[in-house]
């Protein structure tokens, strides 16, 4: 998650939630996100809340981390109960980072076990961890699978050495197919993350990366356009002219290439940046974000959402550990969304996924905008006539503009 | 000699014989206000602890820019050979846009100190202001200033000055406003050489209004020079042009702070307060007389200054329109040269077409509106006024290019100026080339001295009022100076160039240009807009056209990507805030047909790149 936290209302020390959080909860899936804020080195483009030091202060160092996190899980169970939320088993669990697999697999397993003991897992629950290709071994993957993990998402980014170099990625591209094979052998589903539009990446480079990802035969592929985040090393390099800048037209061309190649290889899009081999291979945890489901985000800087109440934890691992050590909720701020804001978010999120947005969920102005969106070939006409706003390929590339037009007042 | 007068002559009881009225005139920056500082100090009217540089430049904008915009009159005592005198000094602006301030000041004086920077020599406004003073029949005291500067060439420029005015180079005083050297001698010379005012003390009062200023605390303050008779506190006075009468609530002199007095007599300069709220009731150029004993004939007035360039002023936030209207009304109170009327632009909404004396005047007005009234404004590219005769003989005055009639034009006349350029003779060639390219007609050339030349041209106002001076300066390494004044009009081959976005004409970008320059305007504007307008979801052609003929074209390619690839770890709040910000941003967009044009693009397209430095001459 980005290093800068949003501005919101203060969150209470006991973490208790406003009544709104419980409304209709029984009808929504409940998920868990676990943030692991450690990496071996920081990639030049990355502004996630992650740290390369092993020692971050009491309770926040890598070897104490799983214990600290489990304290938050205990607090979470208490808060949910005291805020009158119904007991719900977890539909998905997602370990993200940072690099979760920098911790011993047994630590990840311990956190999952703790979550399971507090809430239980739905039958067929999806349990994912992100991983760097060079931070896993056949043994570690085995341990994860045994502990109940079902899925691993590798940060492949590119198959081309000079592109990986600009991205500061340290792994050997040869390592990716190997890691995928180990994961498969352990019985895990596999996803690969790719980044396109890196300065210096040619169209041929991008095609090579796509082909190489497809050749690994994963179940799922995410392809992200490189975002140059303020304050990153990459942003400074571009500003100083050491590295060329990024270009939206290049991004658009590469997105179109990705969609075509992935479709030809049997992957269908289901969210602007995500493709899956079958509907069953879609990342349900990722979809929970777009569908407005409930999730608890544990770990420093993690974001949570329950029934239109959003909150986020303090950012620094030391501050986070300190709060938990003194029995105080790590929440730093929160927002209780009113009906109008929830409606706006609904349009903003639902439009990005293949389910699409029901036209009946739009205001009068939004409905008026639909004809124009069809005329501009941004939404699928047949779906629109059947009552659903679903983006075309061109529409996916202009999704934010589509949302603005749907929300015009 | 004891310079500071022991007993200052009392207003209303001062014999005209001991009064000396003078103004300081010069080219811009030659040091008028700094010399005035030394006079304020030497005569003791400003105490050392209160002194600050350019004391009389009181407006914020004058201090920020280091130039004088409004004339200021100050009464100061001085003693010579044991006798006390009352001096009225008027510091004037040097910039060509404010020449009318100088003419008004001259009418209140018998003499003028013609100041010349001893490192620069005679420049264009030196000549212009000298000629104005001569037309007013004033006695001229030539003075070289800044003799402390290492680069000063007092001997050389004394000769130039003597040449110009007639007289002996020996008689040219040499001073430094910075160090004060020679200023006492100058004050003595003013007393000795300038004639005392003459008038009939027994006659009905006649006082010339030479300035009228609105002050929030005191209402309208009117500055006068009494020619005949006497004005006294509490009496009723009459404005001769309107016959309106008012009670004199306060009368006094500026010294330099307002000091109420027992009246004002023949030859005296001071101020009146009558309680009127609008300067138009106390008009510059009008004559004040006694209501009970009115004068038969008024003094000659001044012509109202004529606006030379027009520009549309629009509030960026449309709801600020009433604020802008009130703000213009207020500025108008102190600025007779400001004229405006409401206008509407399809692209910019409601605003005003405002007439100015020149670009500096425009810039200063705009800056004051923004600073003093907290407004954000867009100003459209300035233009001059055209007189268009239609085929049916109807005559239109066009102050806004978008009102230029389509077709059926039989004749267009454009305003002309006569310009004077002074420069070292090595630059004559390049200056002639420049004037030629600006459709200039050479009227004459004189050597002011061995190496300094005066060139006289008749040129279209539109050719010199915008970037001519910049060009001139850069071609002459800063050595040339320029002065100009209105000089009739002429028929010209002019066309209107329109700018179209996706086929829709954008009124704010229309321009009237000479036919030969239409193409370069079209190319400049279309390429500028291509850089400034963000890409839209569809392709946007930008065209420049004369009537239906396209003369230049650019294209903004359609945007292909507008989506954030990733939503980090469930931070939906960040994404929503971004969306809300974009929606807010959209409110600041102006729609031209379907094309969204950000305000910033309008501002940038309409402002010349370095207009800030430009206006300062
Ligand atoms: N060295 C030196 N500098 C001077 C002297 N007199 C004025 N200056 C400088 O010249 C610049 C212009 O001085 P001003 O007194 O503002 O000139 P001005 O003629 O009143 O200018 P405008 O009112 O704008 O026409 C300032 O930077 C002064 O400090 C002088 O005698 N010697
Ligand atoms: C937390 S990281 C994944 C796990 C692991 N740390 C790694 O990098 O391999 C999640 C993914 O976000 C993507 N990502 C990170 N920063 C990005 C950026 N600035 N622009 C686009 N994608 C980015 C990368 O594809 C990355 O794999
Ligand atoms: S490894 Fe992943 S989380 Fe860590 S710095 Fe690189 S991209 Fe960011
Ligand atoms: Mg001055």
More confident residue, A11 or B461: B461
Whose CA is closest to B486, among B381, B614, B385? B385
| pLDDT tens per residue, range B39-69 | 999 999 999 899 999 999 988 889 989 999 9
**Residue pLDDT, tens place only, B317-359:** 889 999 999 999 888 877 878 999 999 988 888 999 999 999 8
CA B53 – ligand 4 centroid, Å: 10
Range among B94-103, B435-444, B468-477 with highest mean pLDDT value: B435-444
pLDDT of residue B467: 84
3-state secondary structure chain A: CECCCCCCECCCCCCCCCHHHHCCHHHCCEEEEEEECECCCCCCCCCECCECCCCCCCCCCCCCHHHHHHHHHHHHHHHHHHCCCCCCCEEEEEEEECCHHHCCHHHHHHHHHHHHHHHCEEEEEEEEEEECHHHCCHHHHHHHHHHCCCEEEEEEECCCHHHHHHCCCCCCCCHHHHHHHHHHHCCCEEEEEEEECCCCCCHHHHHHHHHHHHHCCCCEEEEEECCCCCCCHHHHHHHCCCCCCCCHHHHHHHHHHHHHHHHHCCCEEEECCEEECCHHHCCHHHHHHHHCCEEEEECCCCEEEECCEEEEECCCHHHHHHHHHCCCCCEEEEEECCHHHHHHHHHHHHCCECCCEEHHHCCHHHHHHHHHHHHCCCECHHHHHCCEECECHHHHHCHHHHHHHHCCC
> What pLDDT was estimated at residue A1?
46
Reported confidence tier of residue A7, pLDDT bands at 50, 70, 90: confident
Which residues partner with A305 through β-bridges? A295, A310
- Closest chain B residue to A306, measured at CA: B570
More confident: B213 or A190 = A190
Give CA–CA dist A58/A67, Å, rounded: 11
ipTM above 0.85, yes or no: yes
Q: Tell me how far CA of residue B30 lies from CA of B54, B115, B165, in angstroms.
A: 12, 7, 18
Q: Would the pTM count as exceeding 0.90?
A: no
Structure tokens at B410: 């039989």
pLDDT in tens, B555-569: 999 999 999 877 666
pLDDT tens digits, A303-322: 999 999 999 999 999 999 99
Evaluate if residue B609 carries a pLDDT over 50.
no
- Nearest-CA residue for atom 8 of ligand 1: B31
Q: What is the mean pLDDT of residues B80-94?
A: 95
Of the listed ranges A174-178, A374-378, B136-140, B296-300, the one predicted with least confidence: B296-300
Residue among A369, A379, A383 nearest A399 (CA): A379
In this prediction, residue B153 has a pLDDT band, given cuts at 50, 70 and 90, of very high
- Check residues B403 and A309 and name the one with the higher pLDDT: A309
State whether B565 and A227 contact (CB < 8 Å): yes
Q: Please compute the mean of the pLDDT values over residues B11-39 and round it to a whole number.
A: 95
Rounded Cα distance, B581 and B583, in Å: 5
Average pLDDT, stretch B183-189? 97
- Model confidence at B4, pLDDT cuts 50, 70, 90, reads low
Give the model confidence (pLDDT) of A75-115 as tens digits.
999 999 999 999 999 999 999 989 999 999 999 999 999 99
Per DSSP, the three-state class of B269 is strand
Reported as a pLDDT band with limits 50, 70 and 90, residue B614 is very low
Q: Give phi and psi for A76, each to the nearest 5.
A: -60, -45
Q: Is B33 annotated for ligand binding? A: yes
CA distances from B415 to B458, B460, B480, B484, B488 (A): 11, 6, 24, 12, 6
CA angle B550, B553, B554 (to 5 degrees): 165
Confidence of residue B607 (pLDDT cuts 50, 70, 90): low
| pLDDT one-digit tens code per residue, B486-539 | 999 999 999 999 999 999 999 888 999 999 999 999 999 999 999 999 999 899
Of the listed ranges A371-375, B366-370, B600-604, the one predicted with least confidence: B600-604
Mean pLDDT confidence for B13-40? 96
- Spatial separation of the C-alpha atoms in residues A382 and A367, rounded to whole Å: 15
Inform me whether the pLDDT recorded for B612 exceeds 80.
no
CA distance B380 to B402: 11
What does the pLDDT look like over B411-462, one tens digit per residue?
A: 999 999 999 999 999 999 999 999 999 999 999 999 988 888 999 999 999 9
* Model confidence at B311: pLDDT above 60: yes
Domain locations in chain A as residue ranges: 19-290, 338-409
Q: Does the domain made of A19-290 have the CATH classification 3.20.20.70?
A: yes
List, for residues A228-287, the tens digit of each pLDDT value: 999 999 999 999 999 999 999 999 999 999 999 999 999 999 999 999 999 999 999 999
Q: Which residues of B touch A401 (CB under 8 A)?
A: 537, 559, 562-563
Calculate what percentage of chain B has a pLDDT beyond 70.
Answer: 97
Cβ A252–B564 below 8 Å, yes or no?
no
d(CA A310, CA A330) in angstroms, rounded, equals 14
Distance from the alpha carbon of residue B94 to the mean position of ligand 1, in angstroms: 11
Residues of A in contact with B579 (CB under 8 A): 344, 348, 400, 403-404, 407
Integer angstrom CA distances of residue A384 from A357, A373, B525: 9, 10, 41
Q: Ligand 3 within 6 A of A131 CB?
A: no
> Mean pLDDT, to the nearest integer, of B578-597?
84
Q: For ligand 3, is residue A132 a contact (CB within 6 Å)?
A: yes
Share above pLDDT 70 across residues of chain A, in percent, rounded to a whole number: 99
Six-digit token string for B276: 């009127």
Distance, CA of A400 to CA of A388 (rounded, Å)? 17
Q: Answer for the pair A283, A289: CB distance below 8 angstroms, yes or no.
A: no
ω into B256 cis (within 30 of 0): yes
Both structure tokens of A297: 């985000």
Q: How far, in Å, are A254, A288, B216, B504 from residue A282 at the CA level?
A: 22, 11, 72, 47
Residues in chain B: 617
A121-131 and A151-157 strand pairing: parallel
Q: What is the pLDDT of residue B6?
A: 62
Mean pLDDT of A350-366: 94
Among candidates A184, A187, A119, A198, which has minimal Cα distance to A148? A187
Residue A98 preceded by cis peptide, ω within 30: yes
What residues of A are in contact with residue B562 (Cβ under 8 Å)?
Answer: 397-401
**Can you tell me the distance from the alpha carbon of A315 to that of A301, in angstroms, rounded to the nearest whole number?**
4
Instruction: Look at ligand 2, atom 25, and give the residue with the nearest C-alpha.
Output: A193
Query: Is the CB of A43 within 6 Å of ligand 3?
Result: yes
Query: If you measure from the C-alpha of residue A185 to the centroid of ligand 2, how many angstroms do you get, rounded to a whole number?
Result: 25
Per-residue CA distances from B38 to B119, B269, B335, B548, B616 (Å): 20, 20, 28, 63, 25
Does residue A332 surpass a pLDDT of 60?
yes
Q: What is the pLDDT of residues B197-253, one digit of tens each?
A: 999 999 999 999 998 888 888 888 999 999 999 999 999 999 999 899 999 999 999
What are the tokens at B168? 């002996």
3-state secondary structure of B413: strand
Q: Kindly state the average pLDDT of the residues B34-38.
A: 97
pLDDT on residue B465 = 86
């Amino acid at each position: 998650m980005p290093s800068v936290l949003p501005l919101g209302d203060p969150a209470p020390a006991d973490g208790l939630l406003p009544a709104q959080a419980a409304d209709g909860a029984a009808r929504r899936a409940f998920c868990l996100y676990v943030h692991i804020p450690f990496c071996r080195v920081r990639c030049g483009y990355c502004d996630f809340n992650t740290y390369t030091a092993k020692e971050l202060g009491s309770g926040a160092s890598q070897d104490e981390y799983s214990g600290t996190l489990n304290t938050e899980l205990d607090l979470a169970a208490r808060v949910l109960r005291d805020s009158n939320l119904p007991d719900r088993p977890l539909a998905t669990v997602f370990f993200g980072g940072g690099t979760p697999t920098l911790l011993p697999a047994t630590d990840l397993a311990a956190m999952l076990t703790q979550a399971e003991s507090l809430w239980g897992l739905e039958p067929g629950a999806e349990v994912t961890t992100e991983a760097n290709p060079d931070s896993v071994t056949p043994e570690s993957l085995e341990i994860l699978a045994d502990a109940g993990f079902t899925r691993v998402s590798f940060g492949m980014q590119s198959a081309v050495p000079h592109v990986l170099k600009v991205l500061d990625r340290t792994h050997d591209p040869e390592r990716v197919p190997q890691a995928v094979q180990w994961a498969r052998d352990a019985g895990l589903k596999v996803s690969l993350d790719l980044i396109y539009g890196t300065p210096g990446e040619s169209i041929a480079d991008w095609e090579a990366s796509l082909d190489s990802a497809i050749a690994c035969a994963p179940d799922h592929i995410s392809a992200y356009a490189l975002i140059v985040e303020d304050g990153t090393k990459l942003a400074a390099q571009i500003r100083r002219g050491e590295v060329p800048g990024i270009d939206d037209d290049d991004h658009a061309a590469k997105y179109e290439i990705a969609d075509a190649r992935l479709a030809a290889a049997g992957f269908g899009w289901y969210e602007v940046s995500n493709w899956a081999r079958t509907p069953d291979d879609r990342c349900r945890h990722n979809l929970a974000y777009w569908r407005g489901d409930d999730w608890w985000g544990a770990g420093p800087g993690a974001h949570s959402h329950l029934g239109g109440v959003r909150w986020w934890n303090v950012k620094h691992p030391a501050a986070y550990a300190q709060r938990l050590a003194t029995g105080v909720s790590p929440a730093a701020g929160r927002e209780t969304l009113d009906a109008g804001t929830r409606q706006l978010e609904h349009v903003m999120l639902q439009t990005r996924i293949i389910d699409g947005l029901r036209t009946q969920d739009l205001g009068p102005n939004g409905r008026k905008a639909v004809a124009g969106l069809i005329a501009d070939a941004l939404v699928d006409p047949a779906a629109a006539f059947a009552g659903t706003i679903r983006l075309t390929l061109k529409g996916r590339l202009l999704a934010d503009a589509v949302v603005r037009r749907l929300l015009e007042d | 000699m004891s310079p500071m007068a022991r007993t200052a002559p009392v207003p209303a009881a001062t014999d005209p014989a001991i009064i000396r009225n003078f103004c300081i005139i010069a080219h811009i920056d030659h040091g008028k206000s700094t010399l005035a500082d030394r006079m304020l100090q030497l005569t003791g009217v400003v105490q050392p602890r209160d002194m600050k540089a350019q004391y009389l430049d009181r407006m914020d904008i004058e201090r920020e820019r280091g130039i004088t915009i409004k004339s200021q009159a100050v009464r100061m005592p001085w003693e010579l050979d044991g006798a006390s005198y009352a001096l009225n000094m008027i510091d004037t602006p040097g910039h060509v846009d404010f020449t009318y301030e100088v003419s008004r000041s001259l009418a209140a004086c018998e003499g003028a100190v013609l100041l010349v920077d001893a490192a620069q020599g005679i420049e264009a406004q030196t000549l212009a202001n000298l000629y104005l003073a001569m037309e007013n029949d004033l006695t001229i005291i030539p003075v070289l200033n800044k003799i402390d500067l290492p680069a000063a060439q007092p001997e050389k420029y004394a000769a130039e000055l003597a040449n110009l005015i007639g007289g002996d180079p020996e008689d040219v005083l040499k001073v430094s406003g910075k160090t004060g050297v020679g200023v006492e001698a100058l004050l003595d010379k003013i007393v000795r050489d300038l004639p005392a005012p003459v008038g009939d003390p027994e006659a009905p009062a006649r006082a010339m209004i030479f300035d009228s200023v609105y002050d929030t605390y005191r209402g309208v303050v009117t500055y006068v020079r009494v020619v005949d008779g006497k004005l006294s506190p509490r009496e009723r006075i009459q404005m001769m042009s309107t016959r309106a009468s008012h009670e004199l609530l306060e009368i006094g002199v500026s010294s330099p702070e307002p000091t109420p007095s027992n009246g004002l007599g023949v030859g005296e300069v001071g101020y009146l307060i009558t309680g009127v709220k609008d300067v138009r009731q106390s008009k510059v150029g009008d004559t004040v007389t006694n209501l009970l004993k009115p004068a038969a004939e008024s003094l000659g007035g001044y012509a109202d200054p004529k606006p030379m360039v027009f520009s549309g002023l629009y509030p960026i936030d449309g709801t600020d329109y009433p604020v802008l209207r009130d703000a213009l009304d207020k500025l108008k109170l102190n600025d007779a040269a400001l004229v405006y009327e409401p206008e509407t632009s399809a692209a910019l909404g409601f605003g005003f077409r405002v007439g100015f004396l020149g670009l500096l005047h425009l810039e200063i007005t705009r800056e004051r509106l923004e600073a003093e009234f907290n407004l954000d404004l867009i100003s459209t590219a300035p233009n001059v006024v055209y007189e268009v005769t239609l085929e049916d003989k109807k005559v239109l005055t066009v102050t806004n290019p978008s009102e230029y009639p389509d077709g059926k034009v039989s004749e267009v006349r454009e305003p002309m100026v006569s310009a004077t350029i002074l420069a070292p003779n090595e630059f004559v060639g390049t200056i002639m080339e420049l004037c030629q390219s600006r459709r200039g007609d050479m009227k004459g050339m004189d050597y002011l001295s061995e190496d300094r030349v005066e060139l006289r041209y008749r040129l279209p106002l539109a050719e010199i009022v915008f970037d001519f001076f910049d060009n001139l300066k850069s071609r002459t390494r800063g050595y040339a100076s320029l002065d100009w004044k209105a000089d009739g009009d002429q028929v010209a081959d002019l066309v209107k160039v329109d700018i179209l976005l996706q086929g829709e004409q954008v009124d704010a970008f229309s321009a009237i240009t000479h036919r030969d320059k239409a193409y370069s305007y079209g190319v400049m504007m279309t390429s500028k807009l291509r850089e400034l307008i963000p890409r839209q979801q569809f392709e946007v052609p930008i065209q420049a056209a004369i009537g239906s003929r396209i003369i230049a074209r650019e294209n903004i390619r359609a945007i292909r990507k507008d989506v954030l690839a990733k939503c980090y770890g469930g931070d939906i709040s960040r994404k929503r805030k971004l969306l809300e910000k974009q929606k807010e941003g959209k409110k600041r967009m102006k729609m031209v047909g379907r094309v969204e044009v950000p305000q910033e693009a309008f501002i940038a397209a309409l402002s010349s790149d370095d207009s800030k430095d430009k206006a300062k001459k």
